[in-house]
Structure 1
Amino acid sequence: MDLGIKGKVALVTGGSAGIGLAAAKSLAREGCDVCVSARDPERLADAVVELQEFGGVVHAVLADVEDPEAAARLAAETREVLGPVDILVANAGGPPAGRFVDASLAEWDVAIQRNLLGTVRLIHAVLPEMRSRGWGRIVTITSRSVREAIDGLALSNATRSAVAGIVRTLAREVGGDGVLVNNVLPGPIDTQRMRELSGRLDSSANGADVPVGRIGRPEEVGDVVAFLASERASYVNGISMLVDGGASRIIA
């Protein structure tokens, strides 16, 4: 199925590995020109090589979304090299595991900067041009903890849920301008973070409690992101879509 986004410009943060890289690959496969950002220069360079195999234009920017200046710089550099951002995939690594009673205020500040305000700043940086052109897609990557709080992930539970609230609010505000805003909730996915957390959290971390019998692959999330960013998803707006193999027990 042609997703109708060939030639669109996509900006993917946290795009050097895991779900971010998978999303960038899925978009590049559909013919998007892609700018990826990340904090690790070596992994970012490797990601560019992988993405160039799809034939589109690829650009990389070394950036940390915790930096208050990063979002504006990312949008400006993407515009300069590729053109205005049509598709934003706001993705960042999760905060450290831990209980609420053990998290310091400094840890809360870092989590809020990275996983909440980083997303807010990215949206602010690209939204005006999307609205002026009458077309845009914003996809945030959070966690199934938005739907069902995960023990031992207090910082993630709170900041990810805040992003989901922003998505739902913004979708109602700008959907009429042609800008669709959605959220993806990955469950247990085979990423470095999941491997680090495995054994510390619930049994779904190794697939034992997932109805399909395994943990997911990053590309399975990436393809959902590409669909939500596409013309084919033109009536999908304001949702938080689980990609968890059925692991969540929450109905609504």
Structure 2
Amino acid sequence: MDLGIHNKVALVMGAGGGLGGAIAKTLAKEGAKIVVADINPDALASIESALKSAGAEVLALQWDLSDLSVIDGNIAAIESHFGAVDILVNNTGGPPPTPAFGQPSEVWSKNFQLMVLSVIAITDRVLPSMRERNWGRIITSTSSGVVAPIANLGISNALRLSLVGWSKTLSREVAREGVTANVILPGRISTDRIRFLDEAKAKREGRDVNDVSAQSTESIPVGRYGTPQEYADVVAFLASANASYVTGTVQRVDGGLLANI
């Protein structure tokens, strides 16, 4: 299937991680020009090298999402190199595991700026050109915790949920100008982040990490963790020309994990 995004400019945030890297590679296979952004220079260099080896047109930007002052300059660099952004994949790192109670206000503020304000500000920067051209895709990756809050992920559950309300509101504001805005949420996808969370839970409960993973797997109807590629394939569809009538949604990629409708 031709997804209709050949030569579209795609900005993938958090591209050095498992999900972001898979998304960048999948969009590149469809012929998009890829901008990969990540705070980790080694991870960024790795995904840049992989994309170039595959023949993709790629621009790599080391980007600290906690610093809102760099947004305008970084987007200007993309526009100078490739042109205006057509596809924006908002993908941020997750906060450390914590209960909801008792977290210092500065921890909430720091993570709000990193996980929420940065996403809103980057989107605001690229939206005007999308609206002018009557074409754009805004895809925001969150967590299954926005539907069913996850124990000991209080900060993530709260802050990522705010992005769902923001994206839904935005989708209605820009729909008639050919711009879609959707949220996509992963269940248990096999990434370094999930391994870290499993290890943290095992340490917290005094259990073997393999037991924790096995118990988690048992709760998933398909009986396994998902792969980053399976997640990336859904993102690619939402980024496609074919998905022009899909907006304002929350798409789950969870193997049936979430039991609610």
TM-score of Structure 1 vs Structure 2, range by shorter chain? over 0.9
- String of CA shifts for 1:36-83, please: whole Å, max 9, x gaps: 110111111111011123322100001111111232222111111111
Distance across 2 between alignment mates of 1:243 and 1:158: 20
Instruction: Read off the aligned partner of 2:110 and give its amino acid letter.
Output: V
Find the counterpart in structure 1 of residue 224 from structure 2.
214
Confirm whether residue 186 of structure 1 aligns to residue 179 of structure 2: no
Distance across 1 between alignment mates of 2:18 and 2:215: 16
- Deviation of 1:161 (Å): 0.5
Structure with greater helix share of residues: 2
Confirm whether residue 29 of structure 1 aligns to residue 22 of structure 2: no
Distance across 1 between alignment mates of 2:255 and 2:74: 33
- Deviation of 1:250 (Å): 1.5
What is the RMSD computed on CA atoms of the aligned residues?
1.5
Q: Secondary structure at the match of 1:61?
A: strand
Q: Secondary structure at the match of 1:238?
A: coil
Find the counterpart in structure 1 of residue 67 from structure 2.
67
- Deviation of 1:235 (Å): 0.5
- String of CA shifts for 1:9-57, please: whole Å, max 9, x gaps: 0001101121111111110010000001101111111110111233221
Q: Secondary structure at the match of 1:219?
A: helix
Give the TM-score normalised by the residue count of structure 2: 0.93
In terms of mean alpha carbon deviation, does 56-65 or 99-108 score higher? 99-108
Q: Secondary structure at the match of 2:68?
A: coil
Distance across 2 between alignment mates of 1:131 and 1:246: 35
> Structure 1 residues 6 and 123, CA, compared in 2 at 3 Å: closer, same or farther?
same
Find the counterpart in structure 2 of residue 156 from structure 1.
156
Q: Choose 1 or 2 for highest CA Rg.
A: 2
> Structure 1 residues 151 and 3, CA, compared in 2 at 3 Å: closer, same or farther?
same
Number of residues of Structure 1 aligned to a counterpart in Structure 2? 251
- String of CA shifts for 1:158-206, please: whole Å, max 9, x gaps: 1110001111000000010111000101011111111010152886884
In terms of mean alpha carbon deviation, does 206-215 or 182-191 score higher? 206-215
